[in-house]
Amino acid sequence: MKKLFKILGILLSIIVGFGLIGFLFIQFRGIPSYETQTIDHRVVSTPASIERGKKLAMMLCANCHRNPETGKLTGTLMLDAPKEFGTIYSQNITQDSTFGIGNWTDGELIYLLRTGIKKNGEYAPPYMSKLPTMADSDVDAIISFLRSDDPMVVANATVDQPCEPSFLSKFLSTVAFKPLPMPEHKIELPDTSDHIALGKYLAQNLDCYSCHSADFKTMNNLNPELSEGYFGGGNKLFNREGQEILTPNLTPDVETGIGSWSTEQFIKAVKYGSKEGENALRYPMMPYVYLTDDEAYAILQYLKTIPPIKNKVVRSTF
């Protein structure tokens, strides 16, 4: 018996030792880096593409990258980021060559937006939106806007604040979250006359599903429908005061979701943040004023097609 306990003790010591080595490796190595791929592509900007890119950037990029004091996309502390991921700062994406993206090629930007890998090989962790299924023309449009003379993106020499990722961020970026593959084929925009297809495209590529599904840790960027609790709500976010709020259920469940909502109610809530005289939206979600009524309607039509999830999310009173 003593010999058995001695063997078990040795095995336990080995396991603990390897665990400690793994912990120290992940902790000090940090977020992993990867080889980069050269993308030979130059974006051709037009007034229409810049306008389209601004619309997309205002709904995708600005909430995280816009400094609330200056209105410029120079990065800021992400107050809404789950504290379990650490202290997160968005980065300067103005045209400054030293502190922004002024010396990035169009191909390098496309590679980052598609895969999550920066030009130096660093992996942008899961809290940065990635666009693996966005149409090529829309990715180009975002870059067109970032290259434009809009005051939000003109060169600004604001120094980036380094993120302080938690061990959980480092661990998940090592074992679970990986760079996404570059699309092998051209991705086209959906037929805008097909409201369900258009709604699916917008709901997934405007990153609605990641906040409104169960947890950031279990979202699936390549196949959003496979995300745990897809659009069922309950994900934890934080307001500007650091108070925890839970995202609402957007599935068509009548009792706990939006199954009984009218088109008018949905459009007012999404575009203007209003629902029957009360505020429907709170930071970090801002009104999507850049959506057309038809696009908001399309999103609702798509949401009505997904499997209902019975998940009553209690709205915070503050």
Do 155 and 212 sit in the same domain of this protein? no
pLDDT confidence of residue 1: 64
- How much of the chain exceeds pLDDT 90, in percent? 64
For residue 47, what pLDDT is reported? 97
318 is a domain residue: no
Q: Mean pLDDT lowest for which of 173-187, 199-213, 247-261?
A: 173-187
Structure confidence at residue 238 (pLDDT): 85
CATH number at residue 123: 1.10.760
Query: Is the same domain home to 84 and 168?
Result: yes
Peptide bond into 284 cis (omega under 30): yes
Position 78 scores a pLDDT of: 86
Write down the pLDDT at residue 17.
Answer: 72
Together in a domain, 106 and 134: yes
Contact 269, 297 (CB under 8 A): no
**Residue 145 shares a structural domain with residue 263:** no
In a domain, 39, yes or no: no
Contact call for residues 75 and 81 (beta carbons, < 8 A): no
Amino acid at 73: L
274 shares its domain with 216: yes
Q: What is the pLDDT of residue 14?
A: 74
Biggest CA–CA distance in the chain, Å, is 81
pLDDT(290) > 90: yes
DSSP code string of 22-38: HHHHHHHH-S-B-----
Q: Is residue 26 part of a domain?
A: no
Residue 225 scores a pLDDT above 80: yes
Average pLDDT over residues 120-134: 83
Residue 224 pLDDT exceeds 70: yes
For residue 50, the model assigns a pLDDT of: 98
**Does 276 or 85 have the greater pLDDT score?**
85
The pTM score is 0.89
Return the structure tokens found at 65.
């990258």
* pLDDT tens figures, 97-109: 999 999 999 999 9
Question: What's the structural domain count of the chain?
Answer: 2
What are the pLDDT digits (tens) for 161-188?
A: 888 888 888 888 888 788 999 999 999 9
pLDDT per residue as tens digits for the range 11-51: 776 776 776 777 777 787 778 889 999 999 999 999 999 99
Percent of the chain with pLDDT over 70: 94
Residues 158, 201, single domain; the answer is no
71 and 167 in a single domain? The answer is: yes
Q: Which runs of E-coded beta strand occur in the chain? A: 86-87, 164-165, 236-238, 244-246, 274-275, 278-279
Clarify whether residues 205 and 169 are in a common domain.
no
pLDDT at 126: 62
- Is residue 128 classed as helix, strand or coil in its secondary structure? coil
Do residue 102 and residue 160 come from a single domain? yes
pLDDT of residue 2: 67
- 142 belongs to a structural domain: yes
Last residue of a domain, one of 122, 143, 175: 175
User: Is residue 4 pLDDT above 70, yes or no?
Assistant: no
Do 155 and 219 have their domain in common?
no
Task: Please give the residue range of the domain that contains residue 239.
Answer: 195-303
Least confident of 49-63, 118-132, 145-159: 118-132
Residue 226 lies in a domain: yes
Based on the fold, state whether residues 169 and 205 are members of the same structural domain: no
Determine how β-strand 274-275 pairs with β-strand 236-238.
Answer: unpaired
Q: What is the arithmetic mean of pLDDT over 75-99?
A: 90
Mean pLDDT over the full length of the chain: 90
Q: Residue 6 above 70 pLDDT?
A: no
Distance CA 255, CA 310 (A): 7
Residue 181 lies in a domain: no
- Asked if residue 171 and residue 199 are part of one domain, the reply reads no
pLDDT for the residue numbered 318: 65
User: Is 207 among the domain residues?
Assistant: yes
User: Residue 152: CB partners within 8 Å, gap ≥ 6?
Assistant: 62, 66, 71, 72, 73, 94
| pLDDT for 85 | 86
Residue 42: inside a domain: no
Domain termination residue (choose one: 175, 206, 229): 175
Q: Averaged over 244-249, what is the pLDDT?
A: 92
- What confidence tier does 8 reach under pLDDT thresholds 50, 70, 90? low
